[in-house]
Amino acid sequence: MAKLRFQGEVFETGGDTVLDCLAAHGRPIPSGCRSGVCQSCLVQVVDGPVPEGAQGGLDEASVERGLLLACQARPREDLEIAPAGSLVERHAVRVLGLRELGPEVREMKLSRPAGYAFLAGQFLQLQRADGLARSYSIASDSARDDFLLLHVGRVPGGRMSSWVFDDARPGEQATVTGARGRCYLPSDAPTGQPLLLVATGTGLAPLRSILGEALRRGHEGRIVLYHGARDAGGLYCDAGLRALAQAHPQFTYEACVSRGEAPAGTRPGRASTLALADLPDLTGWRVFLCGNPAMVEETRREAFLAGAASSAIHCDSFLPSGD
């Protein structure tokens, strides 16, 4: 049975993940989604082999520094790890403002630290004063905005989202990590390449940033964005996206409602289903998928079968923390 060494103590893993093993022995570490998406549970390998699948979704720099996802690591051999705190870039920020974007979505505006760089589509981890941390995609313009925008969806019983909706106030201090994630528009992406963007819920946040980046670069190819919600109230950037579509002829916006009656100007059905029906041949397209994990995985597979190259399909799943 593999043994796990952490801060001078040794535990038998019993086949558990590193995250569960530490929790079972009274040594919990920060965590969020427990599915490898939010990257809240990063630890550093000190000695031993990296378990298979423990670095999925990490950027090259994180892999090179020996970081792994504790929630995905199931050691088969002895492994020594250490907290990753000193290796994770952190910045102090202030809450600049909060506003309602929709019935269940609130925008949080944070100060942008000097020199803070990110690529359109990446995410950060937000940590409040008591140490609670959650990951959110960055919705602001990477080149033009001197602030960071987050779209926070209310999670029933969620401690972080409840704070954002009910208690957070301008002027409060918080901490953010450096930007992470591989779901972004590459700097060498051809400006004539057609782009398909499909989002559900607050998965719109990174795609809104990618859209802004593409338009700022003078992208000439087609850009088609499908945003899906259960009802019209979930289409929280509807007016702004319609205005962009009016101003940029290469951009098309499709608002999709999956339940109940679709109001005028919206389409009934799932965003991903409508997108694949409208665009059955995705050969040569670059595809971005953000939101519900089941939608992301299913549409990733279908987009590949429709002709999109696997290297041109960029995904980011959104999982509520549940607490």
pLDDT in tens, 257-275: 999 788 899 999 999 999 9
Condensed to tens digits (0 to 9), the pLDDT of residues 299-314 reads 999 999 999 999 999 9
Q: Of how many residues is the chain composed?
A: 323
Q: Which of 72, 79, 4, 7 is nearest to 41 (CA)?
A: 72
pLDDT cut 70: percent of the chain above it = 96
Structure tokens at 68: 């792994």
CA distance 137 to 295: 18
pLDDT for residue 31 is more than 80: no
CA distance 135 to 2: 31
- Comparing 139-143, 223-227, 237-241, 268-272, which segment has the lowest mean pLDDT? 139-143
Segment 87-96 shows an average pLDDT of: 88
Segment 234-248 shows an average pLDDT of: 96
**Judging by beta carbons within 10 Å of its beta carbon (0-12, 13-18, 19+), is residue 77 exposed, middle or buried?**
exposed
**Confidence bin at 80 (pLDDT 50/70/90):** very high
DSSP H helical ranges for the chain: 18-24, 60-64, 159-162, 204-216, 238-247, 271-278, 293-305
**Confidence bin at 320 (pLDDT 50/70/90):** low
**Confidence bin at 322 (pLDDT 50/70/90):** very low
What pLDDT, on the 0 to 100 scale, is given for residue 295? 94
Sorted by where each starts, the structural domains of the chain and their CATH numbers stand as 3-87 (3.10.20.30), 90-177 (2.40.30.10), 195-317 (3.40.50.80)
Condensed to tens digits (0 to 9), the pLDDT of residues 164-212 reads 999 999 999 999 988 888 789 888 889 999 999 999 999 999 999 999 9
pTM: 0.80
What is the average pLDDT value for the chain, to the nearest integer? 91
pLDDT for residue 317 is more than 70: yes
**Confidence bin at 87 (pLDDT 50/70/90):** low
Q: Is 206 helix (H, G, I), strand (E, B) or coil?
A: helix
pLDDT cut 90: percent of the chain above it = 69
Q: What is the 3-state secondary structure (H, E, C) of 85-125?
A: HHHCCEEEEEEEEEEEEECCEEEEEEECCCCCCCCCCCEEE
Segment 137-162 shows an average pLDDT of: 93
